[in-house]
Structure 1
């Protein structure tokens, strides 16, 4: 087990953001975290990435390497740095050029390697951040609504790519409010709305009458 949450609670002042949250993630799992805006998804990711401590409860996390793709692109998109510099130097390990080129090529970005970040479209910048998250060779990849800036065609490619990583043993934690995105059979679903509404397999979720992408629409 990579992650185990027991009775997690988070409160800010008097408002309870998450209450009595229990779930687990095994190595190789593909977990979709869903729920409406304000349901506590972002707070849960902060707990997982150690940016926040729970008010109550326990979160056990095995010593694994996390790759994290945040929802909002950081300010480095405004820096004068080019794509290569962002990938090479924003990583403590200074990844090898071969690894950088291979991922750029996988993502159809090789010819943009020396382009300034600020000249790229939102979707292209997003791809650079995806590559950056993968360059740390993570055991667990956390994707926080990763396709918000991507065009439909690249989205399809992106999810196929993520599934391949998952097939090769990478654990995926995918935060989304649109269930039609990136749902794979055999994946698990954690539905939040301050509390755990549902935790189980995608198939069980469908049996309960939740239609794929049915009631979670883009806001």
Structure 2
């Protein structure tokens, strides 16, 4: 499903990602762990084209979506279409405050359909289908009674579940999470992790940047441990977290020994 080859990224000549390579099979969940500043979020932003790598390739389902050697020829319109392969869920929710939960989930799909042939002739039917699917997604998130609520009327956990539904509405190949629980208290964290766990059970292909080690061990198929912009260790989730081979990985995980 996903192949990342030799990705590198620098900011102001400071290397942030150094020769990052990994692959992910369809239906698998990959957890990326590491200290703040290790490059985890930058890697996720490169996958979603919010940042452009300086070197390397990103391949999804055999199609090369990005090749740094040809990056100068890629138009912004093309980048927006390539981005649709990835759904992104941020730690800060990023919901539109002026729209209800339902409208937040529907908006991107509505905008996407506007540019397609035959939209004007079938607008009503298309919008009805989008609304039906959005309601189904919110129902799966346990928010059927919150659809007409605005973000300020929702808890942090509810807002994050709306954000997950919004990402799923575009039917991405791969769903990406950037520390989805870091802004939540422990009780609300459980709500969101339960939803992500259910997506894993449904074989949704996912890349999850997380600081929840027990969750990574129990839900992910693979774990990557990053430090200073490089992949220090990667492999089976339980193997890496319970029996790390690299000393740097052991030092990092020792901080979480009571919670894993």
Structure-1 separation of matches of 2:29 and 2:215: 13
State the match for 2:255 in structure 1: 215
Task: Please give the alpha-carbon distance, in whole angstroms, between the structure 2 residues aligned to 1:185 and 1:88.
Answer: 29
1:125 aligns with 2:159: yes
TM-score (norm 2): 0.72
Greater radius of gyration (CA) = 2
- Alpha carbons 2:160, 2:192 under 8 Å: kept: no
Return the TM-score normalized by structure 1: 0.84
The residue number in structure 2 matching 1:20 is 19
Q: 1:68 aligns with which of 76, 88, 93?
A: 88
Which has more helix, going by share of residues? 2
Cα pair distance change 1:195/1:36, threshold 3 Å: same
2:116 matched residue in structure 1: none
How far residue 141 of structure 1 moved from its aligned partner, in angstroms, is 1.0
Using the TM superposition, give the Cα deviation of residue 6 of structure 1 relative to its aligned residue in structure 2, in angstroms: 2.2
Query: Secondary structure of the equivalent of 1:110?
Result: coil
Equivalent pair of 1:138/1:170 in contact (CA under 8 Å): no
d(CA) in 1 for partners of 2:95, 2:172: 23
Q: Is this contact kept in 1: 2:224–2:234, CA < 8 A?
A: yes
Measured on the aligned residues, the alpha-carbon RMSD in Å equals: 2.8
| Match status 1:88 vs 2:87 | no
How many residue pairs get aligned? The number is 215
State the shift of 1:211 in Å. Answer: 9.7
- 1:198 is matched with 233
The Cα of 1:151 is off from its aligned counterpart by 4.8
Structure 2: runs of 5+ lacking an equivalent: 64-83, 114-126
Moved more, 2-11 or 32-41: 2-11
In the alignment, structure 1 segments of 5+ residues that lack a partner are none
